[in-house]
């Protein structure tokens, strides 16, 4: 006769017998792995109550501006694992990475070359490039959804002193596939560590830092939606990203330029940076990334 814990697992798994096939597969595997974890570590009632309290606190701290469940997924490497399973790419295609918890839908649509900073937020950065097919052909009319932090380490959704559309915008590629906008040079920042995820990081001796980066989602009819980053190749924490999202192919050089440079963006009074970043999309269709920083 199997031990009592095995009988419990069997009973729960059999309860899914009438579920749709894929749901039955997922729920059965979830229960089997979860129960095996409980047995392997011999989870105590006190530890289980602590885990339930942590999940409860995660729900309480999650708001329209902060998604603690996505933060758990990122900090435990689940987001990057799901991404890796989903995205097997042909050579030359731009790699994807995590969405992060601060994406907000509905950013304003701006013209080519516009400045996405509503107020001073750091050294100006001219970000430009092309959106291309894997054959190297330009994709006209692709939409780039862009958001980043400023030199105070904060995204607009975190910063009560910033307008809602600060450091975020959408752009459409021109006929030749080009895009360009003025942002700021991003800085490393700490993921929110005043909640349950922060408690886990502190308890396990992990740091909360992410290297400097700019977020992009690229959408175009007939192509898979791309969620990716531009990482500053000289940033701290590239080898120890708190959410394990750095990929070498996404590192870019932020080239320092002077105000007398003829290519200086309008209104630039001091030194600025330029970042060239082509984005190569894969033909196909895809759903929007899971989670939008507000509701999922």
Task: Provide the pLDDT for residue 121.
Answer: 87
- Asked if the model's pLDDT at residue 18 lies above 80, the reply is yes
Q: Could you give the strand order of the β-sheet that contains 143-148, starting from the edge strand earlier in sequence?
A: 168-172, 143-148, 213-219, 226-232, 251-252
Section 166-176 average pLDDT: 98
| pLDDT (tens digit per residue) in 53-79 | 999 999 999 987 788 999 999 999 999
Average per-residue pLDDT in the chain? 92
pLDDT at 17: 95
Q: What is the reported pLDDT for 251?
A: 98
Predicted local distance difference test score (pLDDT) of residue 78: 94
For residue 293, what pLDDT band results from cuts at 50, 70 and 90?
A: very low
CB atoms within 10 A of CB 172: 16
What is the sign, positive or negative, of the torsion defined by CA atoms of 192, 193, 199, 204? positive
pLDDT band at 290 (very low <50, low <70, confident <90, very high): very low
Q: Please give the pLDDT value at position 3.
A: 66
Check whether 288 has a pLDDT greater than 80: no
| 227-284 pLDDT per residue, tens | 999 999 999 999 999 999 999 999 999 999 998 888 888 777 789 999 999 999 999 9
Give the pLDDT confidence score for residue 231 in this predicted structure.
98
CB 196 within 8 A of CB 58: yes
Q: What is the pLDDT of residues 1-14, one digit of tens each?
A: 556 777 999 999 99
Cα distances (angstroms) measured from residue 260 to each of 88, 122, 182: 44, 19, 17
Handedness of CA 66, 72, 77, 78 (dihedral sign): negative
Assess contact for 226 and 286: CB atoms under 8 A. no
Q: Where do the domains of the chain lie?
A: 4-43, 68-280
Strand pairing of 272-276 and 124-132? parallel
For residue 278, how many other CB atoms are within 10 A of its CB? Answer: 15
Say what the pTM is. 0.86
Q: How much is the pLDDT for 255?
A: 96
Per-residue pLDDT for 116 more than 90? yes
What pLDDT score was predicted for residue 269?
79
Q: Which of 88-102, 174-188, 275-289 has the highest mean pLDDT?
A: 174-188
Query: What's the mean pLDDT in 164-193?
Result: 96
For residues 32 and 205, what is the distance between their CA atoms, to the nearest angstrom? 30
- pLDDT of residue 102 exceeding 80, the answer is yes
Instruction: Report the candidate in 148, 282, 295 with the shortest Cα–Cα distance to residue 219.
Output: 282
For the segment 163-184, the average pLDDT, to the nearest whole number, is: 97
Looking at residue 283, its pLDDT comes to: 94
Q: Does domain 68-280 have CATH number 3.30.70.580?
A: no
Mean pLDDT of all residues in 23-39: 95
- Residue 32 token pair: 């089997």
pLDDT in tens, 123-162: 999 999 999 999 999 999 999 999 999 999 999 988 998 9
- Evaluate whether 231 touches 238 at the Cβ level (below 8 Å): yes
């Amino acid at each position: 006769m199997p031990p009592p814990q095995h009988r419990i697992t069997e009973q729960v798994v059999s309860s899914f017998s009438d579920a749709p096939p894929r749901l039955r597969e997922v729920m059965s595997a979830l229960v089997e792995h979860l129960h095996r974890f409980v047995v392997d570590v011999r989870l105590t009632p006190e530890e289980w109550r602590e885990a339930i309290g942590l999940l409860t606190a995660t729900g309480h701290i999650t708001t329209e501006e902060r998604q603690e469940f996505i933060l758990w997924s990122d900090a435990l490497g689940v987001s990057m694992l799901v991404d890796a399973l989903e995205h097997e790419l042909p050579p030359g295609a731009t790699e994807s990475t995590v969405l992060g918890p601060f994406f907000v839908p509905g950013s304003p649509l701006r013209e080519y070359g516009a400045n996405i900073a509503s107020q001073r937020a750091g050294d100006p950065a001219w970000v430009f490039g092309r959106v291309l097919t894997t054959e190297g052909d330009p994709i006209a009319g692709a939409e780039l959804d862009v958001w980043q932090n400023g030199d105070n380490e904060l995204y607009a959704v975190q910063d009560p002193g910033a307008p809602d559309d600060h450091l975020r915008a959408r752009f459409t590629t021109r006929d030749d596939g080009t895009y360009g906008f003025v942002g700021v040079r991003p800085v490393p920042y700490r993921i929110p560590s005043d909640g349950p995820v922060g408690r886990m990081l502190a308890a396990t001796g992990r740091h909360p830092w992410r290297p400097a980066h700019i977020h992009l989602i690229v959408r175009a009819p007939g192509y898979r939606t791309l969620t990716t980053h531009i990482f500053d190749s000289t940033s701290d924490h590239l080898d120890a990203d708190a959410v394990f999202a750095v990929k070498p192919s996404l590192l870019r050089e932020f080239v320092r330029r002077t105000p007398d440079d003829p290519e200086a963006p309008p209104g630039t009074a001091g030194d600025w940076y330029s970042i060239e970043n082509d984005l190569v999309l894969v033909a196909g269709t895809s759903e929007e990334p899971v989670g939008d920083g507000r509701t999922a």
